[in-house]
């Protein structure tokens, strides 16, 4: 083998043997194999050689190149293994007999209010339903008396999938399926439909202290003969006083939703500022908590229920808002932030 090549190989062997970490190894890689590296430099001598010599010389340089890059790769694996070994050795030994860490964290404020609401409604004969987060345009809008191009869709801009499905913008998206599921028992056995369906909802929203693109609602519906607005008010009041464990100021305002007629906004007085006005209540002293109303005949009909015979109410409780009120969370973004330190301060419940 050509002297220069041999010399370079020996030089390389000596220097790689001394390398202790990956960055020094990388320097070696550059100094040998880089554009201006020594191996590349060897090729510059080729011009002075005869064609025959050139052949073997070229092959030897190439072999050296492969040898060096192989050696560097191997060394890198070795160095990484060593580093891991060192790290593991520095770790304290795992003691299986050590007492369990009793600080297990806390339930999320939304989980807690959701369970409370579920318990209240369960005692009033409501079933608790689960529903998907990805729904069709029909479920989310069409079945709810919101045809395509209806302006009410503007308020519920959400995230669309390429196949036309969407992330549900409200729990009302489950209404149609619930009516269809229970209509037989309603008509044939005279069993009223009483269902709540909590769920995560999504909207294309600019976030601030009281708006989030991901939030929780809990929908409730009751359908039977002779259901009226006073039934609706009774259920809402019972639920809210149970959750807050005190009398809550509420007000009903007219509200428009295409799937209820008449429709209302049920507001509660802001518990964070006591009704004085603060960023959480948009400085109004009231928090929109529960839009509601009597189910629109078109919606009942679409669910297979005769609106001439049956009536019902529906409400869409803002679970996220409720959790904020109950636990004094001033900024809605804290709820999705995932910071345990932030969330744990709101509740001790484990």
**Residues forming the site for ligand PHE (CB under 6 A):** 170, 172, 219, 257, 260, 263, 291-293, 314-316
The nearer residue to ligand PHE, 60 or 261, going by C-beta atoms, is 261
Q: Cα–chain-centroid distance for residue 302?
A: 31
Burial 65-99 (b: 16+ CB within 10 A, else e): beebeebbeebeeebeeeeeeeeeeeeeeeeeeee
In angstroms, give the least distance from the CB of 349 to ligand PHE.
27
Compute the least distance from the CB of residue 123 to ligand PHE, in Å: 22
- C-alpha closest to that of 313 among 248, 243, 249, 239: 239
Angle at alpha carbon of residue 199, lines to 195 and 205, rounded to 5°: 135
The token duo for 151 is 């302006």
DSSP conformational letter for 281? G
> Between the CA of residue 71 and those of 32, 34, 194, 241, what are the distances in Å?
12, 15, 73, 74
Cβ nearer to ligand PHE, comparing 260 with 322: 260
Rounded least distance, CB 170 to ligand PHE, Å: 3
* 32 vs 141 by CB, closer to ligand PHE: 141
Question: Smallest gap, in angstroms, from Cβ of residue 115 to ligand PHE?
Answer: 21
Q: Are 242 and 120 in contact (CB under 8 A)?
A: yes
Q: Which residue number places its CB atom closest to ligand PHE?
A: 316
Neighbour count for residue 165 (Cβ, 10 Å): 16
Q: Which is nearer to ligand PHE, 42 or 218 (CB)?
A: 218
Task: Report in angstroms how near the CB of residue 315 gets to ligand PHE at its nearest.
Answer: 5
Name which of 60 and 137 has its Cβ closer to ligand PHE: 137
């Amino acid at each position: 083998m050509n002297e220069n090549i041999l010399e370079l190989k020996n030089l390389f062997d000596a220097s790689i043997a001394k390398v202790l970490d990956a960055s020094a190894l990388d320097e070696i890689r550059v100094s040998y194999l880089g554009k201006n590296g020594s191996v590349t430099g060897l090729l510059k001598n080729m011009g002075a050689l005869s064609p025959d010599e050139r052949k073997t010389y070229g092959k030897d340089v190439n072999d050296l190149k492969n040898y060096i890059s192989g050696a560097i790769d191997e060394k890198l694996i070795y160095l990484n293994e060593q580093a891991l070994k060192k790290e593991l050795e520095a770790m304290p030994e795992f003691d299986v007999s050590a007492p369990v860490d009793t600080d297990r964290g806390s339930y999320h404020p939304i989980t807690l209010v959701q369970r409370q609401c579920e318990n209240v409604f369960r005692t009033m004969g409501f079933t608790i339903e689960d529903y998907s987060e990805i729904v069709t345009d029909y479920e989310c809008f069409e079945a709810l008396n919101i045809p395509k191009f209806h302006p009410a869709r503007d308020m519920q801009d959400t995230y669309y999938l390429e196949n036309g499905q969407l992330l549900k913008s409200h729990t009302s998206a489950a209404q149609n399926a619930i009516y269809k599921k229970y209509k037989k028992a309603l008509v044939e056995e005279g069993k009223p439909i009483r269902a709540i369906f909590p769920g995560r909802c999504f909207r294309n929203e600019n976030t601030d202290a009281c708006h989030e693109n991901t939030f929780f609602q809990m929908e409730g519906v009751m359908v039977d003969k002779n259901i009226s607005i006073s039934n609706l008010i009774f259920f809402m009041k019972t639920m809210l006083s149970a959750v807050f464990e005190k009398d809550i100021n509420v007000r009903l305002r007219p509200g428009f939703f295409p799937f209820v007629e008449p429709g209302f906004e049920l507001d509660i007085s802001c518990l964070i500022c006591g009704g004085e006005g603060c960023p959480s209540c948009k400085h109004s002293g009231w928090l929109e908590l529960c839009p509601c109303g009597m189910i629109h005949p078109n919606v009942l009909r679409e669910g297979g229920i005769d609106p001439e015979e049956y009536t019902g109410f529906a409400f869409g409780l803002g679970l996220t808002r409720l959790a904020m009120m109950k636990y004094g969370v001033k900024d809605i973004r804290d709820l999705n932030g995932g910071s345990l330190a932030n969330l744990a301060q709101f509740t001790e419940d484990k």
